[in-house]
Amino acid sequence: EGGGDMAAGGAGDREGRCGPAAGGLALLGLVPGAPSCPHGPALLFVKTSQGKEEGRRFYACSACRDRKDCNFFQWEDEKVSKTRLAAREEYNRSHQPFFTHRQNAERYKNFVLLPLSKRRFCQECQQLLLPAEWEKHSDHQFLCDISTAQLKSPSRILYPLENKKTNAQYLFADRSCEFLLDLIIDLGFRRVLSVGTPRLHEIIQSKASQEEDFRVRSLLLDIDFRYSQFYAEDEFCHYNMFNHYFFGGEAARETCRKFLYQDNGERVIMVTDPPFGGLVEALASSFKKLMAMWKETEEGEEGGIQEMPTFWIFPYFFESRILEFFPSFSMMDYQVDYDNHALYKHGKTGRRQSPVRIFTNLTPSTIVLPVEEGYRFCTICQRYVTSGNKHCEICNSCTSKDGRQWKHCVLCKKCVKPSWFHCNNCNCCALQNHTCEKTDAGCFVCGKAGHKRSTCPSLSHA
């Protein structure tokens, strides 16, 4: 099945299965009084087995799923001594970036005053250097002659972070980035809250500084602090979208609030492209908090019952998860392409298409998709769909999720992937070579629900 590397995110295994996910970790979320790691308040988790919570609850880092990146761990009921707490606070302090955002903004001002020949970027430290610092980095690789144009495209200077589990950065291909911006402008938005979308932010900032009549503004919220070297404090906030944590404290929060305040009827949209690691619940709860912030600023205005307009860019197989938290959202067929991920490149063959879509609370018919790329408008569904997505007469909807034409199964009473077949054992459609074991359909031995045949209690009695 497609998806390839996407499966590494834990989401791929949701495909081709009828039953609930097997054992794993369940997220309980952000709870008041949670202890903090360098990435802000930790999240509460619990071990699960066959969908049931069991075992002790514990706190772990919200941002890093790889223990190598942040090894914060604490049992929920663990007593932490005063000395350990103090040591932890010290650790958290010492793990903050060397320069503050303010210092970085000051450094940037000095950097742009330098002649081209003195503008260097250290590739090892991922840092703009001032001449007095060259010495310290003398055995590092530099990028030299950093132009103003380069400074306006930091995502092309910084190397994309590649840690699969924690922070894989997949940057938009120009085609997709331009499409998003044009769409945003055509929809009449003038402010973009860019949450984890540095490349969208940078084309907006870059156009704003170059084109007289370009009126769009953007604020970038991202956990990648390297960006603070290129943006002022009202253009970038160091932010963790898994726990809604502003590293810059109340001042940064206020920057965000101010940005969301719509003066002269300038409309705001939130655009976010989070890592696909799976913590949909945590993301949704942060986005709700950002939406609430937007709402506060709306007070007193007429018709203030709305939700902040949002584009949440995420793989299609998370659709039901996203809709669980945002019933007002719908998934658009547009395939979002990335630069630095081979699997996501737009293919002609139908394979290797991007699984990434736009989820939005805007009216689907207003999201116009490019006809020259094969999208068409379905008048019945009142939305643009991809060319392979045929309208099913029985479902009365364009049912394909992945761009391939899906087929209707009369037994399942819905459309399914072209590669699936109806399995009478499982009583649903699945891949032909699937294993007929479904916990919620009952055990093969005794027929009772809740366990598989390998753990059937009636076997141990025998």
User: Which of 66, 1, 20, 35 has its CA nearest to residue 275?
Assistant: 66
Site stretch for Zn ion (CB under 5 A), options 7-15, 209-217, 368-376, 421-429: 421-429
What is the Cα Rg of the chain in Å? 25
Residues whose CB falls within 8 Å of the CB of residue 106, separated by 6 or more in sequence, listed in order: none
CA–CA dist 290, 193 (Å, integer): 10
41 contributes a contact to ligand SAH by CB under 6 A: no
Specify whether the CB–CB gap between 49 and 254 falls below 8 A. no
Q: Which of 242, 259 has the CB closer to ligand SAH? A: 242
- 42 contributes a contact to ligand SAH by CB under 6 A: no
Identify whether the C-beta of residue 383 lies closer than 8 Å to the C-beta of residue 364: yes
Closest-CA residue to 182 (of 439, 369, 48, 452): 369
Binding of residue 240 to ligand SAH (CB under 6 A): yes
Q: Are strands 356-360 and 330-331 parallel, antiparallel or unpaired?
A: antiparallel
> Which of 199, 244, 357, 383 lies at the binding interface for ligand SAH (CB under 6 A)?
199
Contact call for residue 422 and Zn ion (CB under 5 A):
yes
Q: Which two tokens stand for residue 367?
A: 């999201």
Instruction: Work out what residue 394 binds among ligand SAH, Zn ion, none; the CB cut-off runs from 5 to 8 Å by kind.
Output: Zn ion
Kindly indicate which of the ranges 170-178, 251-259, 344-352, 452-460 contains the residues binding ligand SAH, using the contact rule CB under 6 A: 170-178
Angle at the Cα of 330 (from 373 to 4), degrees rounded to 5?
60
Site for ligand SAH contains 172 (CB under 6 A):
yes
Binding residue count for Zn ion, defined by CB under 5 A: 20
Contacts of 374 (CB under 8 A, 6+ apart): 386, 387
| Span of 129-137, 140-148, 163-171, 341-349 interacting with ligand SAH by CB under 6 A | 163-171
Among positions 45, 59, 179, 239, the unique one binding ligand SAH when judged by CB under 6 A: 239
Check residue 61 for interaction with Zn ion (CB under 5 A). Answer: yes
The residue of the chain with the least Cβ separation from ligand SAH equals 196
Minimum Å distance from CB 242 to Zn ion? Answer: 10
- Assess contact for 53 and 45: CB atoms under 8 A: no
The phi and psi torsions of 441 (rounded to 5 degrees) equal: -90, -5
The three-class DSSP label of residue 246 is strand
Contact 57, 76 (CB under 8 A): yes
Q: Does 242 bind ligand SAH (CB under 6 A)?
A: yes
Identity of the residue, 342 or 410, whose beta carbon is nearer to ligand SAH in the bound complex: 342
Residues in the chain: 462
As given in the structure block, the two tokens for residue 109 are 């001002």
Residue from 30, 61, 105, 200 touching ligand SAH (CB under 6 A): that is: 200
- Of 151 and 428, the one with the shorter C-beta distance to Zn ion is 428
Q: Which of residues 356-415 bind Zn ion (CB under 5 A)?
A: 378, 380-381, 391-392, 394-395, 398, 408-409, 411-412, 415
Which residue, 171 or 428, is less far from ligand SAH as judged by CB?
171
- HSE (side-chain half, CA atoms, 13 Å) at 14: 14
The residue behind tokens 């430290």 is: 125
Reduced to 3 states (helix: H, G, I; strand: E, B; else coil), residue 20 is coil
Pairing of strands 414-416, 330-331: unpaired
Instruction: Decide: is 281 part of the binding site for ligand SAH (CB under 6 A).
Output: no
Exactly one of 119, 183, 273, 403 binds ligand SAH (CB under 6 A); which one?
273
Residue 222's binding partner among Zn ion, ligand SAH, none (Cβ under 5 to 8 angstroms by kind) is: ligand SAH
Is residue 436 a contact point for Zn ion (CB under 5 A)?
no
What does 196 bind: ligand SAH, Zn ion, none (CB cut-off 5 to 8 Å by kind)? ligand SAH
User: Which residues are within 8 A (CB) of 101 and not within 5 positions of it... i.e. 6 or more apart?
Assistant: 225, 228, 233, 236, 238, 248
Q: Which of residues 50-109 bind ligand SAH (CB under 6 A)?
A: 63
Minimum CB separation from ligand SAH for residue 196, in Å? 3
User: Which of these segments, 82-90, 92-100, 168-176, 386-394, binds ligand SAH (CB under 6 A)?
Assistant: 168-176
Binding site for Zn ion (CB under 5 A): 37, 39, 61, 70, 72, 378, 380-381, 391-392, 394-395, 398, 408-409, 411-412, 415, 422, 429
By CB under 6 A, name the binding residues for ligand SAH: 63, 167, 169-172, 196-200, 222-224, 239-242, 273-275
